[in-house]
Amino acid sequence: MLSWPNSECTIDTNDFMKKILETKNRQTAERQGLLHEGEEVPYEKVVDLIRNPETFANRIDEPYTLNVEDGVTLSGRTIELEGGYFTNMYDLVFPGSDVNMRSDIFTTKRPLYPHRIFADEVNVSGTPIACINGSFFFLQDEQIDLSPVEIVYNLDVREGWVLGLPSANRPALIIKKSGRIEAVNLDASGLMLIGNKTVRWVGGESVAHQKSEISVVSGQGVLFNSACCTIRYDNGGDKTSLRRLIRQLNFSPRAEDVVDVVVKAGTDGMLRVIAVNNGGGTDFFVGNFIVQLHRDDARGINIGDVVLPQTVGCINLQDVHSAITTGPLVHHFLLKDDHEINLDSSLGSFPPFAPGVRYARSVMYEDVDGLVHMVVFDAVPLSKFMKGVTPKEVAKNIPENARWAVFLDGGQSSRITFRSGSDVDARGNRQYVRLHKTDKVTKESPIDVRFLWSARGRPLTTMIVLKKIPKK
């Protein structure tokens, strides 16, 4: 029997199971080419890769630049950090204004492997050139009776359709209908029409996470969404332990004088009221979002009413093609060591931007020349010296005069995927181990596959996609 590190999982080494593993990993290697093109990955090597993270923790011998497309390049280099640490930085660069290409934000209800973006069955309204992982999303490790309707946290605008609104003040990446991409600090507040009624709202994340006691007052609703959930690790000191939803904290506040207006998108993309719950206590996951109103303000609101979000923060949503909430502004960490996002219980009990914490990091920024950068600072978490970068180290390696620069989701989500000739290639998170996903044993997979190495990386719910524009 062979044991995987940091787990209680064991896998029998009989010939039948060896054959299954060899087949699965050979297919992965052939599709992705992330070890050596077409190389078979035998069982013994898979075990060695998982047991020996230093296999992946290698410096880039010489800085390089690849031409991905006309006007699009990908460079790679090693950055030496204090204490003997290092990271490999990958930087995909493209013009922010080009009639032949544009960026877009692709979101989906269920996680999707990045390489699928380049498959014909995924419609991205153009020919994909490259993509990077996007925003934070609901992620936990056990089967639950109710999953979020909207798995993407906070703001989610998909091809002009508003599907999610923010419950916390955070930066957002906005792509205007003109094609212009920018990042802005965005307050969780705004206006929406519910039926014929104009409703003013503020985000309720601080209430849900018990950081404040904002109460519903006449003339202003409080918005709750899937990002108001609470995720904790089984072992608070061990990030390899199971992530679990704290179900008893997953409900809007109860009060006699409040009404929960539950809003959900239909198959046509239109938001409508699907429930009106007196007294609060609504599960955060039953709709795209919930607006808790004073009962006087809820009069005249009925099930079936169309909901039209009009503004969020300083943004007129009528001007937005696609948008997502992001992580903090990068240069925040040149002046400060901490950030309020570290109190966000929906991201688990390990603050992602805590001082000195090393993770793989993804960033987007626009430089003074109008070039947009997709950047990954890579990591092999179990290695000795390639453990990732701190937020402050990232800030020191992004031009201080950048027009804007924001963190995206990081850790095992960090990945740049791009078209390389007729193939698809990737940079970032070459060692991704699927943990705690299933105990399912089937005829096709008669073994415990929870701890198999996967070259495809983590499936994602949002990606920023650079694509060619179809000629009219």
Residue 284 domain-assigned (yes or no): yes
Q: How many CB atoms lie within 10 A of CB 409?
A: 26
User: Which of 6, 130, 40, 133 lies closest to 412, judged by CA?
Assistant: 133
- Indicate the range of 70-84, 154-168, 233-247, 443-457 predicted with least confidence: 443-457
Residue 413 domain-assigned (yes or no): yes
**Residue 8 scores a pLDDT above 50:** no
Helix/strand/coil percentages in the chain, nearest 5: 15, 40, 45
Q: Cβ neighbours of residue 464 under 8 Å, at least 6 residues apart?
A: 103, 104, 105, 106, 131, 132, 134, 173, 364, 374, 408
CA 88 to centroid of chain Cα atoms: 21
**Residue 12 scores a pLDDT above 70:** no
**Residue 322 scores a pLDDT above 90:** yes
Q: Is 135 exposed, middle or buried (0-12, 13-18, 19+ CB in 10 A)?
A: buried
User: Which of 92, 153, 16, 64 lies closest to 447, judged by CA?
Assistant: 16
183 vs 12: which has the higher pLDDT: 183
Q: Do 151 and 138 form a contact (C-beta atoms < 8 A)?
A: yes
219 vs 299: which has the higher pLDDT: 299
Residue 111 domain-assigned (yes or no): yes
User: Mean per-residue pLDDT for 225-243?
Assistant: 83
- Indicate the range of 199-213, 265-279, 398-412 predicted with least confidence: 199-213
Residue 174 domain-assigned (yes or no): no
Residue 361 domain-assigned (yes or no): yes
Q: Percent of the chain having pLDDT more than 90?
A: 58
Give pLDDT, residue 123.
64
Give pLDDT, residue 142.
78
pLDDT tens digit string along 199-214? Answer: 999 999 998 888 766 6
146 vs 40: which has the higher pLDDT: 146
**Residue 50 scores a pLDDT above 70:** no
Same domain, 332 and 466: yes
**Residue 31 scores a pLDDT above 70:** no
For residue 412, CA distances in Å to 76, 140, 416, 428, 430 come to 19, 14, 12, 9, 9
Residue 68 domain-assigned (yes or no): no
Give pLDDT, residue 100.
84
Residue 21 domain-assigned (yes or no): yes
Q: Which two tokens stand for residue 265?
A: 């998108």
- Indicate the range of 217-231, 275-289, 418-432 predicted with least confidence: 418-432
Same domain, 44 and 78: no
- Domain with 97, as residue range(s), is 74-136+327-337+352-430+454-472
Same domain, 196 and 300: yes
Give pLDDT, residue 49.
56
For residue 332, CA distances in Å to 106, 179, 350 come to 27, 27, 20
Q: Do 364 and 406 form a contact (C-beta atoms < 8 A)?
A: yes
User: Mean per-residue pLDDT for 238-247?
Assistant: 81
Give pLDDT, residue 472.
61
pLDDT tens digit string along 275-286? Answer: 999 999 999 999
pLDDT tens digit string along 70-90? Answer: 999 999 999 999 999 999 999
Same domain, 215 and 308: yes
Same domain, 305 and 331: no
Same domain, 396 and 266: no
Give pLDDT, residue 391.
97
Instruction: Give me the sign of the Cα torsion angle 281, 236, 459, 8.
Output: negative
**Residue 139 scores a pLDDT above 90:** no
Amino acid identity at 447: I
Same domain, 126 and 196: no
User: Mean per-residue pLDDT for 104-125?
Assistant: 80
User: Which of 169, 166, 175 lies closest to 106, judged by CA?
Assistant: 175
Give pLDDT, residue 145.
82
Same domain, 270 and 311: yes
55 vs 263: which has the higher pLDDT: 263
Give pLDDT, residue 45.
55
Confidence of residue 452 (pLDDT cuts 50, 70, 90): very low
Give pLDDT, residue 21.
53
User: Which of 60, 79, 134 lies closest to 104, judged by CA?
Assistant: 134
Overall number of domains in the chain:
3
Q: How far apart are CA 396 and CA 246, in angstroms?
A: 37
pLDDT tens digit string along 348-387? Answer: 888 889 999 999 999 999 999 999 999 999 998 888 999 9
Mean pLDDT of the chain: 84
For residue 449, CA distances in Å to 232, 237, 422 come to 24, 25, 31
Same domain, 230 and 309: yes
Give pLDDT, residue 48.
59
For residue 250, CA distances in Å to 156, 209, 231, 322, 344 come to 21, 10, 10, 28, 14
Same domain, 198 and 250: yes
- Provide the 3-class DSSP secondary structure of residue 468: strand
Residue 62 domain-assigned (yes or no): no
384-396 as b/e: b if 16+ CB within 10 A = eebbbbbbbbbbb
**Residue 1 scores a pLDDT above 70:** no
Same domain, 194 and 276: yes
462 vs 27: which has the higher pLDDT: 462
CATH number where 275 lies: 2.60.120
Q: Do 57 and 49 form a contact (C-beta atoms < 8 A)?
A: no
- Indicate the range of 4-13, 168-177, 349-358, 372-381 predicted with least confidence: 4-13
Same domain, 312 and 333: no
